[in-house]
Amino acid sequence: MQIKKYQSASSTQELAKKEKNPKPWTIFWAKEQKVGYGRKKTAWFSPKGGLYFSIILPKSNIEDLQTLTVLAAFVTAKIIKEDFKLEPFIKLPNDVWVNGKKIAGILTENVIGKEIKLSVMGIGLNTNVEKFSKELKETATSLKIELKKAVDDEKILKKIVNGLKKQLKTISE
């Protein structure tokens, strides 16, 4: 797993999609995103403290990519439940909620010409975000807010990626 770290990025999805030599499982990880986004280009609030990363996925058929997208929410929820003893709720297809508030979002983007040229999955998880704006306070939360303590971003990132690798292997078998 190759991890490319950035202090700040416009969006890790954009970085991954611009990669000239996209190798599967290369991770683009930014400490903050200036223009983080989710499905249908809705903004994903990405201040310092959150975990924002994009993964270049191996070439797969579109059905497997769809399954993997849903499973990414499952993998993330499982870590939240098992490692942090919280009760996550998967809001299908690609959000994870805790205590009625959004904590993680997943977005898979495919670039398609004659065939699928590139697939990039982006995951935004509110890990150590300390507070949200007035507008978001009622709908978003973070692990730190829920647990009242900081969590290790890198450990969580690696756990999610390894979980995804395992799931994709199972799907493609």
Partner 1 sequence: MKLKLKLKDKEYEVEISEKEEGVKVKVGEKEFIFEKEKKKEVSTPQLSFEKRSFSEKEIKAPIAGTVTEIFVQEGDVVKKGQKIILLSAMKMENEIISDSDGKIQKILVKKEQKVKEGEILVVLK
Q: Does 85 bind partner 1 (CB under 8 A)?
A: no
* Closer to partner 1 by Cβ: residue 10 or 69: 69
At 2, list the tokens.
Answer: 């190759």
Pick from 15, 71, 107, 125 the residue near partner 1 by CB under 8 A. 107
What minimum distance in Å lies between the beta carbon of 18 and partner 1?
12
**Read out DSSP for 23-61?**
-TTEEEEES-BSS-B-GGG-B----TTSEEEEEEPPP--
Pick one of 109, 124, 157, 167: the residue that binds partner 1 (CB under 8 A).
Answer: 109
* Cβ–Cβ < 8 Å for 115, 137: no
Segment contacting partner 1 by CB under 8 A, of 83-91, 112-120, 135-143, 153-161: 112-120
Give the separation between CA 67 and CA 170, rounded to whole angstroms. Answer: 11
Residue type, 70: V
Q: Quick one: how far is CA 87 from the chain centroid?
A: 19
Does position 66 interact with partner 1 (CB under 8 A)? The reply is yes
CB of 115 to partner 1, least distance (A): 9
Q: Count the site residues for partner 1 by CB under 8 A.
A: 20
Q: Which of 34, 117, 131, 137 binds partner 1 (CB under 8 A)?
A: 117
Compute the residue count for the chain. Answer: 173
Helix (H) or strand (E) segment spanning residue 108: strand 101-112
Contact string (CB under 8 A) for partner 1, positions 17-46, x = contact: ----------------------xxx-----
